[in-house]
Amino acid sequence: MKTPLLPLLASPIPLQCRICGERSARWPGLAVLALMAALTTSLAAATPSNQRTPTFAKDIVAATPAPALAVQATALVRGLKNPWSLAWLPNGDMLVTERGGTLRRISADFKLDPSPIRGVPAVKAAVQAGLFDVVPHPQYASNGWLYLAYAEPSPTDDSEYGTTLIRARLKDGRLVDQQKLLAMTPKSRRGFHLGGRIVFDGKGFLYLTLGDRGEMQRAQAPRDHAGAVIRLHDDGRVPADNPFIGNPDQLPEVFSRGNRNIQGAAMHPSTGELWTHEHGPQGGDELNIIRPGRNYGWPIITYGVNYVTGTKIGEATAREGMEQPLHVWTPSIGISGMAFYTSDAIPQWKGSLLVGGLSGQSLVRLVLDGERVAREERLLVGEVGRVRDVRVGPDGWVYLLNDSPDGALWRVKPR
Ligand SMILES: [Ca+2]
């Protein structure tokens, strides 16, 4: 006998909690709807990411008339020379890298120590090259390890350089116990696209982002670090479960390929996956989730075009076996810095992804619906200059660094 569907969906079913005995009623219609929603979600999740259609910033920004929350930025520390990365120590003090090769300390009450930290290795500062991320180990309080990424010159010819990852301890205003964990090879004379972000995943692994060095074919070249994300143990050993172990065409420390220049990366607070963005050429800045062994396509696929001439790069915007971004910025905003906002300090922002714009001179807030970018807001446009780094402080406020010879540390709060 066929059961009529509508009466079934509309009739409550009495339920009793087996633990507390409380009686309630549930409408099966709601359960059916929830099941349908879950099926839709899981089908969407099962869609290969190379068949995903990214959202485009130009479409959703154009449709977004005003931010949900007005904010203001206050400069707390001025006089930072091209600051690149901001990190907190357990006592509330901050460390800031300056691209030229200096590491600065700022007290918890925002006083800049006039003496830079000594013992920073020799850094090649040229074009985009220099000192990049500084990140304390997740157990810094007990082990004291600080991780730094920088452009390291070749010992025999300092016109050749590449991104290097070290760790060291901070003692009496000096870096000591230095250990080199990875040096990008081969080095190059090109001053472009060196990546330089470091992220820990909370499971004992760290990720270092690199770039193509402005030599785009290297992002797909065999046994080349350029255009890759690197995955290591915290002491630099190569994890036995890295995706390319045993692949003669790939270096074992490589985790993903085809990334043009990643200068923003963060762990998703609930999925534990690595989210990154990368600079496109003219147009085509991308937001991606970095998964083991995947190819992110550069320069074979891209939504960007060649500078000035506007001519096509690569073969298309999509290809079987290569990842599609979640979100694309065209025109580019010169994307840099990334933080998931999980604090209660700004409830309206909880769950958002925050990124910075260098050429876009703004803080960008992305409202996420799972892996879909549902909304984009451009905040503080033109108010703080070229945003290089975006972090959430231990107090829950958002902090920015702006890239300028007279840069600053800014705190962002609701207006
Ligand atoms: Ca891509």
CA distance 340 to 354: 6
Q: Which amino acid is at 71?
A: V
Is residue 14 in a domain?
no
Write out the chain's pLDDT in tens, 415 residues.
333 443 334 444 444 333 333 334 344 444 444 445 554 444 445 567 878 899 999 999 989 888 889 999 999 999 999 999 999 999 999 999 999 999 999 999 999 999 999 999 999 999 999 999 999 999 999 999 999 999 999 999 999 999 999 999 999 999 999 999 999 999 999 999 999 999 999 999 999 999 999 999 999 999 999 999 999 999 999 999 999 999 999 999 999 999 999 999 999 999 999 999 999 999 999 999 999 999 999 999 999 998 888 899 999 999 999 999 999 999 999 999 999 999 999 999 999 999 999 999 999 999 999 999 999 999 999 999 999 999 999 999 999 999 999 999 999 999 9
Q: The CATH number of the domain where 274 resides is what?
A: 2.120.10.30
Is residue 248 in a domain?
yes
Residues whose beta carbons lie less than 5 angstroms from ion ligand 1: 296-297
Contact 198, 149 (CB under 8 A): yes
User: From the CB of residue 64, how many other CB atoms can be counted at a distance below 10 Å?
Assistant: 14
The Å distance, Cα 209 to ligand 1 centre, comes to 14
Is residue 13 in a domain?
no
Is residue 71 in a domain?
yes
Angle (CA) 335-336-340 rounded to 5° is 105
The Å distance, Cα 35 to ligand 1 centre, comes to 34
**Tokens 């600051």 — which residue?**
83
How far, rounded to the nearest angstrom, does the alpha carbon of residue 39 sit from its chain's CA centroid? 30
The Å distance, Cα 330 to ligand 1 centre, comes to 13
The Å distance, Cα 284 to ligand 1 centre, comes to 8
Is residue 223 in a domain?
yes
The Å distance, Cα 229 to ligand 1 centre, comes to 13
The Å distance, Cα 388 to ligand 1 centre, comes to 21
Is residue 307 in a domain?
yes
Q: DSSP assignment of 8-66, as one string?
A: HHHS-EEEE-TTT--EEEE-HHHHHHHHHHHHHHHHHHHS-GGGPPPEEHHHHHHT--S
| Tokens encoding 226 | 């350029």
Catalogue the active-site residues: 193
CA distance 337 to 392: 11
CA distance 237 to 204: 11
Cis status of the peptide bond prior to 4, with omega within 30 of 0: no
The Å distance, Cα 70 to ligand 1 centre, comes to 32
Is residue 33 in a domain?
no
What is residue 71's three-state secondary structure?
A: strand
Q: What is the pLDDT of residue 15?
A: 41
The number of folded domains in the chain is 1
pTM of the model as a whole: 0.88
Domain range spanning residue 106? 58-414
Q: What is the pLDDT of residue 47?
A: 66
Contact 289, 274 (CB under 8 A): yes
The Å distance, Cα 91 to ligand 1 centre, comes to 39
Is residue 49 in a domain?
no
